[in-house]
Amino acid sequence: MDRPRLLPWSENGKRAYLHAGDPKGIVSRLADEMEEAQLGAGREVLGAARALLGDPEASRPELRFTAARLTECLFDALRVAESRGERLADDEGEDDR
């Protein structure tokens, strides 16, 4: 089953999908690279958040800013997981044929 791929970006706030069968195509590769960048940013933000949370002198604005960045990164990571999970399910279905 060739299900459309959920992309790691949106169009006017709406989910964007790739309706193409070539997982090695230019848009698929761009999406792969963006997913990796999003996950990398999440790792960096998580590291900074851990350091900030360990600082008893951290200010309320710093904590709020960090919480906002963590929320953004979690959103991105969940979208990547959903997209990859859908593709794994498709790959497993192909093995059954």
The pair phi, psi for residue 60, each rounded to 5°, is: -60, -45
Query: Does the pLDDT value for residue 21 go beyond 90?
Result: no
Question: What is the tally of structural domains in the chain?
Answer: 1
Looking at residue 83, its pLDDT comes to 94
Cα gap 23→32, rounded to integer Å: 10
- pTM value is 0.84
State the Cα–Cα distance between residues 91 and 81, nearest whole angstrom: 15
Q: Which domain does 32 fall in, by range?
A: 5-95
How confident is the model at residue 46, as a pLDDT? Answer: 98
Q: What is the pLDDT of residues 37-90, one digit of tens each?
A: 999 999 999 999 999 999 999 999 999 999 999 999 999 999 999 999 988 887
pLDDT at 22 over 70: yes
Q: What is the pLDDT of residue 55?
A: 97
Q: Cα separation of 33 and 27, whole Å?
A: 10
